[in-house]
């Protein structure tokens, strides 16, 4: 974050110089940044594909398996309602799981890269 520093007594305020475009490209091509991307993708892509498959299964069952989805489990609760609520539950679980994964694995790597970029500026 480029903020103006408090001037020392008798001195002037200095503003940190942001990294150059070349420095950003160099960092993007580094092994460290590649590892950060791999860590993110190895988490996000499988979960995204899994969730989309789960959602499409729900939609297809709703369209083509009305008898099955209408099966009463107990009282007025049927399979469609349980699977529909499962969609919400899955969404919140994925968000919670991602926040834990990001805090443990992504944030430390990203912070190291950010510190290096700001330190080199």
Between 80 and 1, the more confident residue is 80
- Of all residues in the chain, the percent with pLDDT exceeding 70 is 85
Q: Is 17 a residue whose pLDDT tops 80?
A: no
72 CB-near residues (< 8 Å, 6+ apart): 78
Encode pLDDT of 39-78 as tens digits.
Answer: 999 999 999 999 999 999 999 999 999 999 999 999 999 9
The domain spans of the chain are 31-120
Contacts of residue 18, defined as CB under 8 A and 6 or more positions apart, other chains included, come to: 2, 121
């Amino acid at each position: 974050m480029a903020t103006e520093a408090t001037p020392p007594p008798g001195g002037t305020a200095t503003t940190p110089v942001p990294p150059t475009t070349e420095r950003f490209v160099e960092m993007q091509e580094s092994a460290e940044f590649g590892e950060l991307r791999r860590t993110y993708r190895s988490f996000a892509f499988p979960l995204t594909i899994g969730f989309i498959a789960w959602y499409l299964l729900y939609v297809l069952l709703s369209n083509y398996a009305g008898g099955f989805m209408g099966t009463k489990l107990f009282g007025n609760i049927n399979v469609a309602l349980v699977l529909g609520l499962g969609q919400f539950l899955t969404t919140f679980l994925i968000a919670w799981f991602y926040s834990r994964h990001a805090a443990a694995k992504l944030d430390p790597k990203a912070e190291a890269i950010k510190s290096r970029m700001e330190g080199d500026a």
